[in-house]
Amino acid sequence: MDFPLTLRHLFERNHQLFGRSEVVTRLPDKSIHRYPAASFTRRAMRLAAALQKAGLRKGDRVGTMMWNSYAHLEAYFGVPLAGGVFHTLNFRLHPNDIEYIVNHAEDRFIIVDDVLLPLLEPVRAKIKAERIIVAALSDKPVPAGYESYEDFIADAPAEPMPVTLEENDAAGMCYTSGTTGRPKGVVYSHRSIMLHTLAAGLADALAISNRDTMLVVVPMFHVNSWGIPFCGVMTGARLVLPGAHLDPVSLLDLLEREKVTFAAGVPTIWFGLLHALDKEPGRWKLQPGLRTFVGGSAAPEALIRGLDKHGVKVVHAWGMTEMSPLGSISRIKSTLADQPEDALYALRSKQGMPSVLVEMRVVNEQGIAPWDGATMGELQVRGPFIAARYFNDESQKDKWTKDGWFITGDVATIDAEGYMKLTDRTKDLIKSGGEWISSVDLENALMGHPAVKEASVIAVAHPKWDERPLAVVVLKDGAQATPEALRAFLAARFAKWWLPDGYAFVSEIPKNPAGKFLKSKLREQFDGWTWDAPV
């Protein structure tokens, strides 16, 4: 008998086995909302029934413009249980992009947090969604002209009407952040989410179990929060959702109060936590063995070492929207565990070995590169939860090779043990005098300097060398550093011709909605930089 891989299985498993587990949400006023998982599953079924009652048809898209919360978790499962496709909207994008994404995806319904309504209202008249349903997380009444989420599900049957779900039916959808051109839509089938969840939950991957309390810092609008909510529901782990409060003190308070054992977020989040822990040592009593997964951009070795000192075990990961997203995990093989400490940190700083069901190769002008840890090329991947095309966009066919590999746009090496290391994005590599320089390696090294909070390295035109690296640096509060001191710090690690010829000190580095450095903005900002300009 055929057994389709659908999210219904994860949902029913949680409903039957883990009803006494807990879902915890920090609300906009910083109060805590908590309810048992049994309430989550009951309300998700009511949401599914309410959407069907409102006329949702199989395959219809439902946009969610929401922080990480219990209501967003209900939508993650309620929408596909009704036969629909949950479409997470990145509310940090420009209103023009939000308008484009909603209309391009043809969202019929939108569920939005009340505190995010001001971000939706500027485009409300331009989007084609039929109904807008407001989840009231604050104590404010739902404004006139919108529907209340609570009323919407209260008026529905306790369970949705049966829907035949096939494993290749669409279940979810996410758009890229649009840093190069228009945002592009990626659709996730039930099967791809299920396979990704099973692969991510393995002991040598995220290693999530029923005994974990998980702080889901990664926004749920960003690549399904790296698939972590699905792993949590599958295992019945306790879920802690921080809402809008992502500042270091709020997160550390939540980590301590809820006895969190697992957390995940981008490096900028964890740098903030590290700075707070260093500033007030002993203030927060974190759980022994707390592990955190860091991805979204490269995690510098200094971040890994720094959090280790506070008993927080960092595991480096890498992926992309098009990959569901988990592509690699940097776990230390048992056969490598007896290496010197510095060698182990170097390994942990790599993006790691391919995840289960993911294949990787590096391709350059000479063909497929050897796994020697030195030969660079463009990283390509393929696997059953990696997209084969973009939604309703035939202009991007060249992102896939004829034999089915997705061209990531990342430049990487893979060593003999299978550990992949990103050296740059193709568009961010610096070509100086005909030789390539990795901006990522320079950035990670600079962020190891005790005075540096953030650093980004970009290519700037040079009259002799074509391009030279410019380091854009944010110093820690009260810290000082000169260009000469930073150059001397880097000189111990890199060849002389790699060292940045200029240093610009700024108060902030622009970031995209996922928290990654927005180098396109830096290139615009420093266009016309002259190499004798003061720093």
SS3 25: strand
Contact of 194 with 527, CB cutoff 8 Å: no
Please count the other Cβ atoms lying within 10 Å of the Cβ belonging to residue 334: 7
Q: Could you write out the DSSP letters of every residue in 263-294?
A: EEE-HHHHHHHHHHHHHSTTS--PPTT-EEEE
16 vs 209: CA distance, rounded Å = 17
Task: Locate 437 and state its tokens.
Answer: 């320089």
Task: Write out pLDDT tens, residues 205-219.
Answer: 999 999 999 999 999
Residue with tokens 């290391």: 421
Residues known to be catalytic: 176, 322, 431, 436
233 vs 416: CA distance, rounded Å = 36
355: nearest Cα among 394, 381, 377: 381
Contact of 512 with 519, CB cutoff 8 Å: no
519 vs 322: CA distance, rounded Å = 21
Q: Identity (one letter) of the amino acid at 79?
A: V
SS3 503: strand
**pLDDT for the residue numbered 180:** 54
Contact of 120 with 112, CB cutoff 8 Å: yes
98 vs 498: CA distance, rounded Å = 40
SS3 265: strand
SS3 207: coil
**pLDDT for the residue numbered 93:** 85
CA angle (491 as vertex; 524, 515 as ends), nearest 5: 40
431 vs 427: CA distance, rounded Å = 11
Strand order in the sheet with 291-294: 32-36, 22-26, 238-241, 213-216, 262-265, 291-294, 313-319, 326-329, 353-354
68 vs 46: CA distance, rounded Å = 20
**pLDDT for the residue numbered 535:** 41
Task: Locate 333 and state its tokens.
Answer: 């093989």
Contact of 173 with 186, CB cutoff 8 Å: yes
Q: Identity (one letter) of the amino acid at 440?
A: V
Task: Write out pLDDT tens, residues 24-38.
Answer: 999 999 999 999 999
Q: Is the peptide bond before 300 cis (omega within 30 degrees of 0)?
A: no
Contact of 469 with 443, CB cutoff 8 Å: no
Q: Report the 3 state secondary structure along 458-502.
A: EEEEECCCEEEEEEEEEECCCCCCCHHHHHHHHHCCCCHHHCCCE
Pure H helices in 185-263 = 190-200, 228-235, 248-257
Phi and psi at residue 194, in whole multiples of 5°? -65, -45
Task: Locate 25 and state its tokens.
Answer: 């949400």
411: nearest Cα among 401, 422, 419: 422
199 vs 446: CA distance, rounded Å = 34
What CATH class is the domain 430-525? alpha beta
Q: Which residues pair with 435 in a beta bridge?
A: 432
Contact of 516 with 533, CB cutoff 8 Å: no
321 vs 206: CA distance, rounded Å = 18
pTM value > 0.75:
yes
Considering the segment(s) 35-191 as one domain, its CATH architecture is 3-Layer(aba) Sandwich (3.40)
112: nearest Cα among 128, 98, 133: 133
Domain-wise residue ranges, the chain: 35-191, 430-525
**pLDDT for the residue numbered 534:** 41
Low-confidence residues of the chain: pLDDT under 50 = 534-535
Q: Could you write out the DSSP letters of every residue in 356-411?
A: TT-EEEEEETTEEPPSSSS--EEEEEE-TTS-SSBTTBGGGGGGB-TTS-EEEEEE
219: nearest Cα among 325, 136, 137, 291: 325
41 vs 37: CA distance, rounded Å = 6
Whole-number Cα distances in Å, 121 to 27, 62, 66, 118, 183? 22, 17, 14, 5, 21
193 vs 201: CA distance, rounded Å = 12
Whole-number Cα distances in Å, 233 to 48, 64, 187, 253, 341? 17, 19, 21, 24, 36
